[in-house]
Structure 1
């Protein structure tokens, strides 16, 4: 398992983010029964940078809490076997790991939303990683039924690791 974490925010952040990110990435993949070792890249940044990325890649001119850039093209969420059929596109030839994609998180939004929702920054970070990991596994929340599925999965992943509200 390769979990690359880049801290690009200019200010220091008082939480120990690395073990939280690693724990939730692994928990989400176990929850989704991913049969492969995987590679995930996580970038921690600020509102200004995530705003720029959101505008560039999604055409949305504002900061957001998290962006997900999945590598896989899923017909059905977490259909990892389909990805194996096109291994040259979805697996790192050097390591054999499944290339899941990239996650970008605004630490400013983590702080803001933790306060707004009345829980810890650690819980908010864990939530955003779980949410984004489900996107990297092919889930979305454009429709109500999709949103409900994602919400249930997120809460179960977080509860399994002791991150409750």
Structure 2
């Protein structure tokens, strides 16, 4: 039996919730590495998690001493970030509807957000109906962008 077969046999019958696998890294190596060698036309995952609830976590990344996860991926696809402290995670990004990516927080980009649905327009504008505040990288307000009911 090869080493790979021994490992496969060792973990084949582990069942939850009583079982848990702890891996402790010694030295400057990767703690866990998944090397995928399959080149099939079928999509294979190096990691696949099946959760009992969308509120459960696929991943919870912490630094030694953290009381909460700094980087968490939830079963519903939401990704959350925080500082690892008692305040928990305070920033998120998630799918709120079909083709819609949303955050409940402020989004700051290094070079500015791109808009894929822009179109050329003339100076004939409709009624000003809303304004959108724009911030710089430090969170200071730059001003407002006008939003019109129509532009031709």
TM-score by length of structure 2 reads 0.26
Relative contact order higher in (CA < 8 Å, ≥ 6 apart): 1
Structure-1-length-normalised TM-score: 0.25
By percentage of residues, which structure has more strand? 2
